Every structure is written in structure tokens, then in C-alpha cells.
Amino acid sequence: MTVDNSANNETPNYAFSIRFNPEILRIISYVGLIIILLVGAILTATLVDVDPETTAIYKLFGFNHACNWLDHEPSRTVSAMLLPLWEVPFLLYVIFNFLRIQDAYREHKAPQYVYIVSAIFLPIEILLTVWFRMVFVWNPEVSFLNHYLPYMGFQFLLFLVAFENVLYFYAMKALPFKNSRSIALGYLLVLFVLTTVYTIVGLSVALGNPILDLVNDEGQRLLFRSLTNLYTVLVVPIPLIVSVLELRRSPNHKLSFE
């Protein structure tokens, strides 16, 4: 940090700059999300006095999702208080990720279509990030549909970020496995299919017209649980690992305030 106070009768002009990699923000946000879920799971197991087979989610799906760890007091209040551990760094990440792409475009390192896509995605990603907190406003026991909609937005958000990153990292020749386009497209395709299936099934249940009989058909329930487990792997550990790898190999970016 530097201070310019050459004119003694004027307020000093502070100039501040820092170098960092935006991926550190995503790592922090994912660690924060994991902490929220762990705390919620511990509180639910030790302090929540609710029969897990009587919850609205269990009655609708035939099993409890991980979000059940966040739905009942005192876990609900504590988890809501911890939400900024994920929300703030992830919000900063989507903003600085866009700025990183914008700089790459201006320096002719990334094509125009990557910049246009990221510019379109940015306001959507910001809104979906801050709206996720609505899961704590609407209790699933009161209105599962209202509770599920912000989670559906969260799923859409993670796909947009993944799509945007594949475009950017491919343009920068920084995808894993020697910038493998086929692996990246395969990942996006599987993620898109799982996100779509997860959303359609969940929304149909929330609207009261389920397309799968998850409560009575054990085979369909097992299939859907397997898909949700695979989805979780695609949206949590894989992006976290990619961020760690990217943190080690890509340059830091300078942020200045003058």
C-alpha cells in the first residue's frame, strides 16, 4: 500500500493493490460449504428431536437428502448464520472470474464468445448466489416447492460456472489432462444431464405430480439416490480439485484500488 500526500493541505490518496488467484475464493467457498454441512449434520444427529422418517423430504422422496441436516432447529439457525462462509467468497469468485476472463479477452488470449458468455452469465450467477439463502426462509415442512426453488437455482448456478470455466480454461490451454477437450465436454454433458434429471424429478415432486414413484418403488428410489450421489461428486470434489490444481499452475492477478 502506498500513500500520496504531496499536498499537505489535501486528504492523503491511498493506493492499494494485491495479487491473488481467483481460484482461492472458490476453494474457500467450498470449504465453507463443507463446514456448514458438517456442522448441520452434527447438530441434527445430536440436538434435533425430529423422527427422520416424518420429515417432508422423506415423505416425498422416500429418503432424506443432505439438506435435511439444515432444515430443523437448532441446526437451521446455526447453518443460516454460517451461510456467509460459502456465499461471500463464492459471490466474489463469480465476479473476479468474470474480470479474469475479461482481461484475457482484452489481451487477445481468449476469444470474444467466451467473454460474451461470461458477461451474460455474470448477473445470473450473482442473483442465484445471493438467492440461495432463501432455502432458510422457506421451511420445507411449510412449503417444499418454495424451499426447493432456490436449491434448483443453486444447481443451475453450478452448471453455469462449470460451463464458463470449461470455455475459459480451454481457451487458455489450462484444462486438466493436457487441455483435453473431450474429457471436459464429457464432464459438462454428464453434469448437464444429471442437473436436468435432478431438477425435473425434484420439481415434479414439489408440484405434486412426481414422474417417479420414489416412495413406493425401491428400484426407482435407488436409481435416483445413485444419480444424486454422482451429482454431488461432480459439483463438489471435482471443482475443488480443479481449483487446487489451477491455483498451483496459473499466475496471480493484480487487484488495485486508487
3 backbone dihedrals φ, ψ, rounded to 5°: -125, 125
Cell numbers linked to 229? 450421489
What is the per-residue pLDDT for 13? 64
* Residue 183 grid cell: 474429457
Burial zone of 43 (CB within 10 Å; 0-12 exposed, 13-18 middle, 19+ buried) = buried
Q: In Å, how far are 16, 161, 250 from 111, measured between CA atoms? A: 31, 18, 19
- Residue 179's pLDDT is 84
Contact 168, 212 (CB under 8 A): no
pLDDT of residue 226: 94
pLDDT mean values, one per 10 residues, the chain (258 residues):
52 70 93 96 93 91 89 94 97 94 92 96 97 93 92 96 94 85 94 95 92 93 94 93 82 64
Q: pLDDT value at position 173? A: 87
Please report, for the chain, how many H helices and E strands are present, in that order: 10, 3
Give me the pLDDT at residue 1, please.
46
User: Is residue 82 within 8 Å of 70, Cβ to Cβ?
Assistant: no
Mutual angle of helices 181-206 and 218-235, in 10-degree steps: 130
C-alpha pair distances (Å), 215 with each of 40, 109, 185: 25, 52, 34
**Pairing state between β 253-257 and 13-20:** antiparallel
What is the reported pLDDT for 3? 46
pLDDT at site 254: 67
Tell me the pTM.
0.89
Question: What are the extents of the domains in the chain?
Answer: 87-251
